[in-house]
Structure 1
Amino acid sequence: MGRHRGRYAEEPSRRSRSKRRRGGAFAALAAALVIVVGLAAAGVYMFGRSDGCGGSDILLDVAAAPEIAPAVDDIARDFNLADTSVDGRCVRVEVRQVDSANVAFGITGAGATMGDTDSHVWIPDSSMWASMVKHQSGDAIITDTGTSVARTPLVLTELAEFASESGEAPTWTDILPTGAPEDGAENSMRVVDPTRSSTGLGTLYLLNNALEEASPDGETYNAYMTAALQTLHRSTSADEEAAFLALSGSGAETPPIMVMSEQAAWRYNTAHSDTPVEVSYLESNTYYLDYPYIVRSEDSEITRAAEEFRNAVRSEPAQEHILAEGFRGPEGQVDTSVLSAEAGFRESAPAELAAPSEGVVTELTRTWNQMKMDSRVLAIVDVSGSMLAEVPGSGMTRMQVTAAAATQGLEMFTPSSELGLWKFSTDVNDGLHYQEVAPVRELQATGDDGTEHRQVMSQALSSMQPLPQGDTALYETYLAAYQEMSRTYQPDHNNVILMMTDGDNDNPGGMELDELLTQIEELASPSRPIPIITIAFGPDVQNLEPLQEIAAATGGAAYMTEDPMEIGDIFIKAFSLRIAD
């Protein structure tokens, strides 16, 4: 049997023990070297860092707009590997995707936010957010470093299979109506909600500048803007994701044209290669999203760390990451292999419109919200005998033209707007000079027979018949309407009385103007405005002054035309009162 090396084994010789001790030492040393090399490869430095970094890291929290966050994250990865230090401590950058509006509203409290809005560095999609924050929250720590991380201009996009091949640059008036809606006209323009999107707000800014150039006066501008905003309100996407969905799967006969950034168009095509879009550039200057680098801390270490990362973001290697994500560089650099000519992108940068001031941004937002608020309108139509007169050259009576114009005007109202209809003359309803034809209800509401109120209103207008012997009891009707709208006032709506008549007040022995104005003054309240808007038409209107006095007393307006065919455009002017204040 062989010998067993165990508890009872013979002791080895001294020479053997010496050899084994040397072998064990070499093995231990080798093992130690392996451990040290392994720890170094893992980034754990047992004996100090070669570049002088020591102690705990300085963590720099960067909140970036979702679309630019991937590029910033790539830059941060390279930056972290370089072991850049501040006071001997390595700076480590962590990048988070955070919606720009979410951060802005988190600071100001001016809108809904999902939280998670604090950071050391903020890279929103537009300087407009920083400007808004400074204006609305003066004590906020917001330091604009003057660095634009990336840039991307706003462009028009349309599904490639429907895109025009004319080669001509479109104008705003090519794609947005600036007059009364036409029968059968389809809206094909979409925009992302401007209250939460720089793209949407930038679209309003571009539209504002184009219409200012096209408008000879303020009233015309208001009318143009009102018509355009009415169109956009009917087709607003809550966010970019919803906009992309509408673009790719609209199924409409006329697929939408959409304003988005070049980079968003590139992202859309990357995700929707089966239904790509083609971009086109507006004839006029465009607005750029500029992704400013903003520091939100006054701590010395953090601000110096932020400065180190800002330098990294501006470096040439960093720009490669930026351009690879479909952006242009701060100086207009572009990667034509990314923004390719096949999709309509062009290498030369579009002319840039100067950034809007805080005042312009605030006014555009106010205008949008004013137009967004639902209306609550009591429409009153004259059915006196003179409405039987024929409108020269039309083959239609004044009644028919008025009914057609009013029906057309219904298209300007959102489904949740509330409308009602009265008719008036003299003695139309058991001694009263007015009569309800349709109650004030939401246009989308349905009756017992399933008919929508919008259709009820349209049918009621088309079936109205003038009273051959009827006169025009304007003043009594105005007062009754004002009393009714005061009684049923809705503070979350624009409450309006809309009168359409072809004559002056004509009711012998009836109410006089002074009495009407006195009673309206007693009912009126600044906190519960009910403007009276009157559209007077036809040669029988001899004196607009009484109607103007009524308008002035209620914050409304009075319009006069000899041609009832112009009522549609006057509707637009009347609506523009909402943005004229």
Structure 2
Amino acid sequence: MPLAVGHDRRRRSRAGAFAALAGAFAIVLGLGITGWYVIGNQASCGGDEIVLEVAVAPELVGAINALAEDFDEEEHEVDGRCVTTEVRGEDPDNVTYGITNTGPTTGDTESDVWIPDSSLWVNLVQREASEAAINDTGTPVAHSPLILAQPGGAAEDNETEPIENLVPTDAPAAESGRDVRVIDPLRSASGLATLAMISSTIDDQAEDQPELTAALQALQRGAMPNEETAFDTLGAGDDPPPLMVLSEQAAWRYNTEHGGSAHVSYPKGGSHTLDYPYLIRGEDPVVSRAAEEFRAWVTSSESRAVVRKNGFRSPDGAADTDVLTPEAGFQEEAPENLPTPSDDTIAELTQSWNRMKLDTRLLTILDVSGSMAQPVPGTDMNRMEVTTKASGEGLTLFPETSKLGQWEFSTDLDGDTDHRELTPIRELGETVDGQTHREVMTENLESLEPSNGDTGLYNTILAAYREMSRTYEADRVNAILMLTDGQDDTDDGISKNELLSALEEESSKDKPIPVITIAFGPSIDPEPLEEIADATGGGAYTTEDPTEIGDIFLKAFSLRLQGQGEDAGQD
């Protein structure tokens, strides 16, 4: 029995050992299989991840984030490495100026993928930094046409005039046209596209620059620094309400996220469309392939529905009418898309905007010599009255922040000095003794009378040039505007050649001071005035028709679009 018992124990022990061995083998086998699965999975999509940094126009972040989360869950791989995404909102202008070094930037502007709101920024990058590694895939992620937005009830029709017809292109610009507001074109594709639409209707010949000048002045008066300001303005309850140039998506977002009730209308003849291009930055081929994987994902038919849910149209122009509702004025069919302007056009428009944006410091000099009492043929005014009318209308073209001053001139007005100061150069909005500077200047114009003196033209121009040089302000456009009958006839003054020599010797490219003259009268010799204009980068204009006054002022100040200190054509 003991033997039997011992044998049985050995059998049970052996069986237990085999069972334990089998169990251990199963565990090891299971671990091996599991380990093979994990290791195998890591081998196919493991190791170092490829982290794709995606910079997106802020309004598109919600849609791209949602698509990126699904993309990451799918575990896409390139060269056996998983691709994951990091999406962040980045203002397109910030990235553009970071690449080109042509403007101020904040934060990190680097990324592997860039989706700005418009190809306009791509044009600027390609022009200003052609060496930058940017691959335009030619694939738009979303579309959003520009529209005109007003508070609900202000816009009765779903269609209006072309945007360019709503912005005044004549003078005085302050008294004509609708109040059209844009976001600063240097910071906004919608603002930049608005300039392009207006510019496309104006020939780029020199004689048409005054129309562009008037349009830029009209837009700059109400230009808003950013979208937040635009939204605040839209809800301010102004009467009459301004027309805001926004994208469809911005108007939808204002209504849904800001509790607004904006109503949209579509310009006749089509509009520019923000196209949200998909751009790949850098030259790493692995990262580029990862970026192509993400591009295919965000532009798929399934992804388009997500884009439309966020207030955009898909690139085929389709809209979700439950999002862009007819009640708010949105139309189901996309408006005709106007072509994207060239990079040269965009660069010229941004330069023009910058020049016009730079505020003015202007010394206006008015001729009060005896000859200014002579009548202007075909009118019931004398030269003095025509001159003060011209100056008064010109005054309306300047914003409150412009600095202006007034002199009058003849001969021996102040002892043996041919000129006399009427008002010092101050901001038009500055108040002195209960009156704004603009009001004081207007009163001076209304009270001017011709004197009995001669015309000390050359003495006065040189004195004015030296005064403006001495007090030059680099953050403004410094200029001299003289209104005169154009003939220097004093016996005690310097000669024309002496004046030109002094101007040549004392002028500086670092301190350009264009001299602009507007002359009235049938016997004007324009040549001396034109020579003075050539010497200073200014302009010389003559007329006998008071109705041309507004156009002349716009021509004079269109010099700013041609650049300070550059040669400018004269009439």
Tell me the TM-score normalised to structure 1 length. 0.85
Contact 1:125/1:290 (8 A) holds in 2: yes
- The equivalent of 2:152 in structure 1 is 160
Residue 351 of structure 1 deviates from its aligned partner by 2.1
Matching of residue 267 in structure 1 with residue 253 in structure 2: yes
> Hey, what's the Cα distance between the residues in 2 that align with 1:206 and 1:431?
54
Residue 116 of structure 1 deviates from its aligned partner by 2.4
> Hey, what's the Cα distance between the residues in 2 that align with 1:420 and 1:176?
29
Matching of residue 327 in structure 1 with residue 312 in structure 2: yes
Q: Secondary structure at the match of 1:67?
A: helix
- The equivalent of 2:417 in structure 1 is 432
Contact 1:498/1:533 (8 A) holds in 2: yes
- The equivalent of 1:547 in structure 2 is 529
> Hey, what's the Cα distance between the residues in 2 that align with 1:329 and 1:370?
37
Contact 2:173/2:397 (8 A) holds in 1: no
- The equivalent of 1:511 in structure 2 is 494
Unaligned 5+ segments in structure 1 are 1-24, 26-31
Select 1:194's aligned residue among 185, 201, 204: 185
Q: What code does the residue aligned with 1:155 have?
A: I
- The equivalent of 1:561 in structure 2 is 543
Deviations 1:131-178 (A, max 9, x none): 32333334432121121111112222222322254x653134532111
Matching of residue 535 in structure 1 with residue 518 in structure 2: yes
Select 1:80's aligned residue among 69, 72, 80: 72
**CA 1:182–1:133 in 2, change beyond 3 Å: closer, same or farther?**
closer
> Hey, what's the Cα distance between the residues in 2 that align with 1:422 and 1:262?
51
> Hey, what's the Cα distance between the residues in 1 that align with 2:241 and 2:265?
15
- The equivalent of 1:301 in structure 2 is 286
- The equivalent of 1:113 in structure 2 is 105
Residue 192 of structure 1 deviates from its aligned partner by 0.8
The farther-off stretch of 127-136 and 423-432 is 127-136
- The equivalent of 2:360 in structure 1 is 375
> Hey, what's the Cα distance between the residues in 1 that align with 2:547 and 2:420?
25
**CA 1:345–1:573 in 2, change beyond 3 Å: closer, same or farther?**
same
The farther-off stretch of 373-382 and 107-116 is 107-116
The farther-off stretch of 135-144 and 473-482 is 135-144
Matching of residue 459 in structure 1 with residue 451 in structure 2: no
Contact 1:51/1:83 (8 A) holds in 2: no
Select 2:220's aligned residue among 222, 227, 233: 233
Contact 2:360/2:477 (8 A) holds in 1: yes
Within a 5 Å distance, the mapping from 1:415-426 to structure 2 comes to 415-426=400-411
- How many residue pairs end up in the alignment? 535
Q: Secondary structure at the match of 2:255?
A: helix
Contact 1:248/1:272 (8 A) holds in 2: no
Q: Secondary structure at the match of 1:279?
A: strand
Contact 2:517/2:540 (8 A) holds in 1: yes
Q: Secondary structure at the match of 1:499?
A: strand
Residue 346 of structure 1 deviates from its aligned partner by 2.1
Residue 397 of structure 1 deviates from its aligned partner by 4.6
Matching of residue 245 in structure 1 with residue 245 in structure 2: no
Matching of residue 123 in structure 1 with residue 109 in structure 2: no
Residue 185 of structure 1 deviates from its aligned partner by 5.7
- The equivalent of 1:341 in structure 2 is 326
Q: Secondary structure at the match of 2:337?
A: coil
Contact 1:151/1:289 (8 A) holds in 2: yes
Residue 562 of structure 1 deviates from its aligned partner by 0.6
- The equivalent of 2:13 in structure 1 is none
Contact 1:177/1:228 (8 A) holds in 2: yes
**CA 1:406–1:59 in 2, change beyond 3 Å: closer, same or farther?**
same
Select 2:172's aligned residue among 181, 194, 201: 181
Contact 2:174/2:397 (8 A) holds in 1: no
Contact 2:167/2:177 (8 A) holds in 1: no
Q: What code does the residue aligned with 1:224 have?
A: E
**CA 1:88–1:527 in 2, change beyond 3 Å: closer, same or farther?**
closer
Deviations 1:213-260 (A, max 9, x none): xxxx723420000001111111111111111111111x4322211111
Q: Secondary structure at the match of 1:281?
A: strand
> Hey, what's the Cα distance between the residues in 2 that align with 1:95 and 1:182?
44
The farther-off stretch of 126-135 and 388-397 is 388-397
The farther-off stretch of 347-356 and 47-56 is 47-56
**CA 1:152–1:119 in 2, change beyond 3 Å: closer, same or farther?**
same
Q: Secondary structure at the match of 1:68?
A: helix
> Hey, what's the Cα distance between the residues in 2 that align with 1:306 and 1:485?
56
> Hey, what's the Cα distance between the residues in 1 that align with 2:71 and 2:509?
59
Deviations 1:287-334 (A, max 9, x none): 221111111233333222211111111211100001111212122222
> Hey, what's the Cα distance between the residues in 1 that align with 2:103 and 2:497?
46
Contact 2:159/2:266 (8 A) holds in 1: no
Q: Secondary structure at the match of 1:237?
A: coil
Select 2:210's aligned residue among 223, 244, 266: 223
Deviations 1:100-155 (A, max 9, x none): 12222222322222212222211111122233233333443212112111111222
Within a 5 Å distance, the mapping from 1:4-83 to structure 2 comes to 49=41, 52-83=44-75
> Hey, what's the Cα distance between the residues in 2 that align with 1:430 and 1:50?
95
Q: Output the aligned Cα RMSD.
A: 2.9
- The equivalent of 1:490 in structure 2 is 473
Select 2:162's aligned residue among 168, 171, 176: 171
Tell me the TM-score normalised to structure 2 length. 0.86
- The equivalent of 2:11 in structure 1 is none
> Hey, what's the Cα distance between the residues in 1 that align with 2:118 and 2:175?
38
Q: Secondary structure at the match of 1:482?
A: helix
Residue 187 of structure 1 deviates from its aligned partner by 6.4
> Hey, what's the Cα distance between the residues in 2 that align with 1:196 and 1:443?
27
Q: Secondary structure at the match of 1:210?
A: coil
Identity percentage of aligned residues: 50
Contact 2:55/2:90 (8 A) holds in 1: yes
Residue 285 of structure 1 deviates from its aligned partner by 3.8
**CA 1:488–1:341 in 2, change beyond 3 Å: closer, same or farther?**
same
Contact 1:106/1:115 (8 A) holds in 2: no
Residue 184 of structure 1 deviates from its aligned partner by 5.6
Contact 1:48/1:54 (8 A) holds in 2: no
Matching of residue 207 in structure 1 with residue 194 in structure 2: no
**CA 1:531–1:228 in 2, change beyond 3 Å: closer, same or farther?**
same
Contact 2:486/2:526 (8 A) holds in 1: no
> Hey, what's the Cα distance between the residues in 1 that align with 2:86 and 2:181?
35
Unaligned 5+ segments in structure 2 are 1-19, 21-26, 564-571
Deviations 1:414-441 (A, max 9, x none): 3332211000122222222211111122
Q: Secondary structure at the match of 1:161?
A: coil
> Hey, what's the Cα distance between the residues in 1 that align with 2:455 and 2:229?
51
> Hey, what's the Cα distance between the residues in 2 that align with 1:525 and 1:122?
43
**CA 1:503–1:112 in 2, change beyond 3 Å: closer, same or farther?**
closer
> Hey, what's the Cα distance between the residues in 1 that align with 2:524 and 2:279?
63
Deviations 1:521-563 (A, max 9, x none): 2222233221111111133x33212211211121111111112
- The equivalent of 1:474 in structure 2 is 457
Residue 395 of structure 1 deviates from its aligned partner by 5.4
Matching of residue 526 in structure 1 with residue 537 in structure 2: no
Residue 394 of structure 1 deviates from its aligned partner by 6.4
Residue 457 of structure 1 deviates from its aligned partner by 1.8
Contact 2:178/2:243 (8 A) holds in 1: no
